[in-house]
Each structure stands twice: as C-alpha cells, then as structure tokens.
Structure 1
Amino acid sequence: MQFQAKKILITGGLGFIGSNLAHRLVGLGAEVLLVDTLIPEYGGNLFNIDAIQHQVRINISDVRDEHSFRYLVQGQDYLFNLAGQTSHMDSMQDPYTDLEINCRAQLSILETCRKYNPTIKILFASTRQIYGKPDYLPVDEQHLLRPVDVNGINKMAGEWYHILYNNVYGIRACALRLTNTIGPRMRIKDARQTFLGVWIRRLLENQPLEVWGGSQLRDFTYVDDVVEALLLAGLQPEADGQVFNLGGDCVINLQDLAALLIQVHGSGSYHLHPFPSDRKPIDIGDYYADFQAIQSRLGWQPQTSLNQALSNTLSFYRQYLAHYL
C-alpha cells in the first residue's frame, strides 16, 4: 500500500481502532501523528502504542480545540478521523457533551481543513447506530436513517458534514459505517465501547457472562479488517464522497456468541437476563449489514472469521489484561 513517507494524522489515535491503525501505518513506513485527549471514559490508552511509541508522534489534545487543530492539520496527507464519544447511554445522560464531540467538533475539523489544508483526504468512522431499528435485514446503505439515541443523531450529523464538505468544497472525504468492531486494544473495563469487552473481562476474571435478552442478531468486524477498509478507502478515489457499510463474516445471536466465546476460551459460563428497562428504548433489536457496496467498489470484505477474531482477542488480553483494567 502506498503510505510510505505519507504524513498521517489520526484523531482518537490512542484508542482501540486508532492504535491498531497506527501499528499498521508504521509498518507501511508512514509518518504518524496521534491526537487523543486521554479522557478516561473515552478509551485512549498509552499502552495501546507501547510497541511503536518511539516511531510515532503523540499530541495530547482535544478535537474541540480549534486552535491546536489548526496547527496539527497543516501538512498532513491523510486524516483518519476516529475520535468520538461512543457510549449510547452516556449520550442520553449527557447529550451536550456528545453534541460537542460527535457533531460540533466534526464541523470544526472540516472548517479547519478547508482553511488550512484543503488537499487532505479524510476517512471518518461512522456507525451502524444511525440506521436505528432496521426495517429489513441485511441493512444496506439505502436504508432509512432513523437513530434511536442522541449518539446516533450526532454521528449522523458528523457523517453528513464530511460528505457535504466533499461535495461542496472538494475536501475529499469518505465515511465507513462500522458495526461491532472487536479485537486487541478495545476497551474492556466497561461497556462504553462494546458489550463484548465486558464479557472478555468477566471471562478472564472467572465471572459468569451476563447476556441481556440473548436472541438479538449481530455481526462483528475484526479490527484488522476495519483497518484494511480505512486504508483502501484512503487510497482509492472512488471512495470520495461515499458512505460504506462494514460487516462481518457471519451473523450470530448473543446467546450463541456467549457460548462460542466460552468455547474458544475453554471455560466459563453465562446467565441470561431480561433486557434492562433503561436501555430498551434505545435498543435497535436485530442488526447485520449488507457490505456489497464496499466489496464491489473497493474490493473489501472481512478476512477474519469470528472464531479467529475471538481467539486473537482473548490471547491478547490473557497477556496484557492488567493494562486495560
């Protein structure tokens, strides 16, 4: 891939996807600058880049700070815009912070690029949450957007700002709508990023998994496959101005997922619980993605099976659990 000596800025660069992307880009010979607030609730972790800490630059800064971002964006070839508030419950309890990070800050980033680096290429991490409760499955990009929580509304606005700036100002931008991303370096101390992280933590601490409901269908994308999609979209002009779903290699319900995780680990148990009443109004029910658009346009498809993804993730946390609690 043609990232040798390219200048790359990654917002949320010390987080789950950002740090895995940084490892890949360092291996490709890129000059990588990581921007992260390290706000405890948002998933940034310096250990995520422990193996490459001397091969990247780090700036502890907030994407809401227009003055620092004006300086950071200049001279960059690519911006992988991954910073965000990811908790759906947090967005309902503190909607204004979610608005600032997932909506207003995105507009500020784009304005800064327009004024100080209009030739940059931007890859934005969007989310399947903007679809809301699906009308049909699998969900394709033509599906109605009907978010069920504040986070989904703000992420939808952030995504549309990127496409608008592509269409009106020629700031090359592409949005990838991520489903459940899993893998090494994801947040496991709580469910702010993904419920699967908490399951892995409980499994490694010899506690039973709590499965809410259990019948909901989901798909999962391994983080290396997400990184591959980001890089492909970065390199291919056909991605400019487009939104693409990502998906997984299979569809599974949550009860079967818990059983599979326990099987891969070799021990453990789970308990079924009714879906919590405070979360039910913002639950989307079943979801899995149709990713034919990115497959046909950019040649992407998931390469990692769910079994392998779970195995790789468990192996990582068996070795490094203490750094993620």
Structure 2
Amino acid sequence: MAKRTVLVTGGAGFIGSHIVDKLIARGDKVIIVDNLSTGRLEYLNPLAKFYKLDIREDLSEIFKKYNIDYVIHQAAQIDVQQSIKDPSFDGDVNIIGTTNLLEHCCKYNIKKIIYASTAAVYGQPKYLGVDEEHPINPISYYGISKHTPEHYIKVFSQLYGLNYTILRYSNVYGIRQGFTSEGGVISIFIDKFLSGERPIIYGDGKQTRDFIYVDDIVRANIIALEKGDNEAINISCNHQTSLNQLIMMMKSILAVDLNPIYKSAKLGDIKYNYLSNKKAKEVLGWTPNYGLSEGLEEIFAYYQSLYQAKVEIAVSRK
C-alpha cells in the first residue's frame, strides 16, 4: 500500500492518539493538530508532526506544506454538561471548527475526511438497537453540535465532491481515557475503586449503554479511509450493559468489594440505549474484536499503574 499522509485533529487525545499510533505503525505519515485543551503531550507519537493549533484557526500552511491525502477529525468539545453550561462555546468548537476544517479540505483537494460523530445525535431511542435510519433528535447541545457538522459535510460533498465517512460512536472506553470526562464512566469507576472510594451512579443503575473498546474504534477509522464512502455508520458492540452489571464486572476483575452510591438521575439522561452495528458489518466489513469483559481485562493493568504513580507522587511530596 502506498504511503499516505493523514492529518489527525485531536491527535493528542484519548481516541486520536491511538489512531495516530496505528497509522504510523502502518507506515503512514501523520500530522497532528491539537490545542491540548484535553489532549496530553505524553500521548503524542514522536514520529508524528505536531502542531499546537485550534481547529478554528487558519490551517493553510499545514495543508500547503504536507500535501495531505486524508483527514481524520477527532477534535471536539465532548462534555455534555459543559455544552449545557456554555452552548456558544460548544457550538463554536464543534460546528465552526469543523466547517473551517472542511473549507481547508476542499481548498486543498484532500481525498477524504473521516468525521467522529456520536450516538448522542439520536436522543431518546424510539427502538433498540438504534440504527442509522432512526430519527435524529438530540436532547443536548452536544448532540446538536455534533450532528450539525454532518449536514455541512454532506453539502460540502454535494457542492465540491468532498468524499467522507461519518462514524457515530457508542460509549468508547479504553487506555488513555481521562477520569473526568462524562463519557468516561468506566475510567471514572476504576479510578474510584483503585482509590478505595465508592463510585457514584446517577439513577438506579439499570440504565444501559453500549460500550465499545477504543481499539475497535481505531480499526473502524482505518478501514473507513478506503471504504464507506459518503455514508454515516454506527460503530458499536450492538449490546447493552447496565451500569449495575458494569459495576459487578469491575468488582470481580479488580477484586474489590465497594458498592456504589446512588444519587438522583441527571436531567435528560437516556435510560436504555445500544446501537445496531449491522451497517458497519455490511459496508465496512467491520465487527468489534472486544467484548466488554475482554476490554476491561486489558485496561486494568494500565489504570492500576497510573494509580500507583499517583500514590508515589503523593508520598514523595509529603
């Protein structure tokens, strides 16, 4: 396969950094654009070219210099609660930032853009599993700001021939996920357990989510460089797990006996949800390699090492 030049926005972040690592392992040339608002320097692959820039800034010099073939767009404001507190900022980053990127893609004739969308675009499910034909009815500003660029992408495609694939992720988890992101419930629970604290569940814990391991997300993005042209596709496990079931699995794997604290459900929280991945199988030839138990087993050692490092730093400062 010919060497490709790929721009990854958010390439210092949780998902983006894993995509960068995989592209470089395949022999591709990678340029990263990340403003480090949530990305971390230690996640940067040293073989990638890194630019500390915001996606709302002028990116012309990068596109001119590197003759970019593909763009994988992972950069975003991803916190639902932050979107509610500051919808203008949320829209500015996710909508204006994406349209700025699209204008550069068209001006410099890139071959394709892969856009990271989300299950949040669907809102409260009318049926399960939610497929791509499900009505779009986001119930958060975040869901709106992630779906609106899908319309822009499609019109840019119609007007300028821009090739694209939109990937709508279910609940992603894995190595390098932070402890504070609302979407990172698994990493937050692990952090609590390793700290000897009881995790907090908002609601009765019967609410379900479709957890997808980051390695499977990465593989879908790599496949989408060559397949799934001009399609919107769910990337999910096609399976729902309740938060109570998740806690039980984690207690078993981590060998801890701490029960969760239950608090009032958050306003607008979706009760039951999982995404169909039938289209991903048919169009991309993609199926997830990881079930939840396999993914949890793989990331346990990583989070345990992080916790040990935190403890050692705390002790050294005393």
Q: TM-score, normalised by structure 2?
A: 0.92
Alignment match of 2:24 (pick from 23, 26, 33)? 26
Q: Which residue of 290, 294, 310 corresponds with 2:280?
A: 294
> Which residue does 1:44 correspond to in 2?
39
Distance between the aligned counterparts of 1:196 and 1:153, measured in 2?
A: 25
1:112 counterpart (91, 104, 109): 104
* Aligned-partner Cα distance in 1 for 2:88–2:233: 28
Superposition pairs of residues 228-243 of structure 1, within 5 angstroms: 228-236=219-227, 239-243=228-232
RMSD, aligned α-carbons: 1.6
* Count of aligned residue pairs for this structure pair: 307
Query: Is 1:98 aligned to 2:90, yes or no?
Result: yes
Pairing 1:73–2:68 present:
no
**1:249–1:138 distance in 2 versus 1, CA, 3 Å:** closer
The structural deviation recorded for 1:203 is 1.5
Deviation at 1:294, TM superposition (A): 1.2
Contact 1:163 / 1:242 at 8 angstroms: preserved in 2? no
1:207 aligns with 2:205: no
- C-alpha separation in 1, matches of 2:224 and 2:297: 27
Aligned to 1:235, what secondary structure does the other structure show? coil
Question: Which amino acid is 2:12 matched to?
Answer: L
- How big is the shift at 1:208? 1.3
Q: Are 2:239 and 1:250 equivalent residues in the alignment?
A: yes
Q: What CA deviation, in whole Å up to 9, does each residue of 1:16-67 have, x standing for no partner?
A: 100011111111011111111011xxx3011223xx32x11111000011x2
Q: Name the SS of the counterpart of 1:243 in structure 2.
A: strand
* Correspondence for 2:134 among 143, 166, 170: 143
2:217 pairs with 1:222:
no
Q: How does 1:161-180 map to 2 (within 5 A)?
A: 161-180=152-171
For residues 135 and 254 of structure 2, the distance between their equivalents in structure 1, rounded to whole angstroms, comes to: 39
Aligned to 1:266: 255
1:222-247 deviation line (CA, Å, top 9, x unaligned): 101001101111112xx121000011
SS in 1 for 2:31: strand
Query: Cα deviations across residues 102-161 of structure 1 (Å, max 9, x unaligned)?
Result: 11111111112112x223310000000010000000000000000001111111101221
Alpha-carbon spacing, 1:37–1:193, altered in 2? closer, same or farther (3 Å): farther
Alignment CA distance shift 1:193-1:250 (3 Å): closer
C-alpha separation in 2, matches of 1:6 and 1:44: 24
Matches of 1:254 and 1:272, distance apart in 2: 12
Cα separation, 2, equivalents of 1:19 and 1:31: 14
Report the Cα distance in structure 2 between the residues aligned to 1:196 and 1:209, rounded to whole angstroms. Answer: 10
Match of 2:289 among 279, 298, 303: 303
Matched, 1:88 2:74: no
- 4+ residue segments displaced more than 6 Å: none
1:240-273 per-position Cα deviation (integer Å, ceiling 9, x unaligned): 2100001116321111111111111121413241
Match of 1:61 in 2: 53
Q: Among the aligned pairs, what percent are the same residue?
A: 29
Deviations 1:266-287 (A, max 9, x none): 21413241334xx32x312211
Letter in 2 for 1:105: G
Give me the whole-angstrom Cα distance separating, in 2, the residues matched to 1:23 and 1:119: 21
- Corresponding residue number in structure 1 for 2:316: none
Normalising by the residue count of structure 1, what TM-score does the alignment of the two structures yield?
A: 0.90
Deviations 1:80-122 (A, max 9, x none): 000000000000101111011111111111112112x223310
Q: CA deviation at 1:15?
A: 0.3
Please, which runs of 5 or more residues in structure 2 have no aligned partner? Answer: 314-318
- Structure 1: which 5+ runs fail to align? none
CA contact (8 A) 1:131 1:145 kept: yes
- Confirm or deny: 8 A CA contact 2:7 2:68 kept in the other structure: yes
- Measure, in 2, the Cα distance between the counterparts of 1:119 and 1:191: 32
